[in-house]
Amino acid sequence: MFRGPLRPAQIEKAPQLSPDVRVTSLHRQHRRALTNGKSARTQNAALGLWRTFLEWCVRQGYLPTDPLANIRKAKDSPEQRPYRRRAFTGDELKRLLKVAPMPRRLVYAVAAFTGFRRSTLGRLERQHLDVSDTSRPLWRLEGKLLKGKRPATLPVSPDAMAWLTRRPLDEMGSAVKLLPAPPMMRTFYKDMTAAGLARKDEAGRHLVFHSFRYFACTQWAKTLPIQKVKVLMCHRTLAMTSDLYCQIGLDDVGGEM
Domain ranges of the chain: 8-80, 84-256
**Of the listed ranges 23-32, 44-53, 184-193, the one predicted with least confidence:** 23-32
Q: What is the DSSP letter of 36?
A: T
- pLDDT value at 231 more than 70: yes
**160 band by pLDDT with thresholds 50, 70 and 90:** very high
Count other Cβ atoms within 10 Å, centred on residue 145: 21
* Alpha-carbon Rg for the chain in angstroms: 24
Count other Cβ atoms within 10 Å, centred on residue 154: 16
**234 band by pLDDT with thresholds 50, 70 and 90:** very high
- pLDDT value at 11 more than 50: no
Count other Cβ atoms within 10 Å, centred on residue 150: 11
d(CA 6, CA 175): 51
- pLDDT value at 232 more than 70: yes
Degrees, nearest 5: CA angle 142-226-83? 80
Domain 84-256 top-level CATH class? mainly alpha
Is 200 in a helix, a strand, or coil? Answer: strand
> Which pLDDT value is given to residue 1?
42
Question: Which percentage of the chain shows pLDDT scores above 70?
Answer: 77
- pLDDT value at 174 more than 70: yes
- pLDDT value at 145 more than 70: yes
Question: Mean of the pLDDT values across residues 119-125?
Answer: 96
> Which pLDDT value is given to residue 138?
97
**Of the listed ranges 10-24, 81-95, 242-256, the one predicted with least confidence:** 10-24
Strand partners, 155: 138
> Which pLDDT value is given to residue 229?
92
> Which pLDDT value is given to residue 2?
42
Question: Mean of the pLDDT values across residues 238-247?
Answer: 75
Higher pLDDT residue, 5 or 104? Answer: 104
Spatial neighbors of 100 by CB under 8 A, at least 6 apart, are 108, 191, 194, 195
Return the H-helix or E-strand segment holding 211: helix 211-221
> Which pLDDT value is given to residue 250?
46
- pLDDT value at 175 more than 60: yes
> In this structure, are residues 42 and 25 in contact, taking their beta carbons and an 8 Å threshold?
no
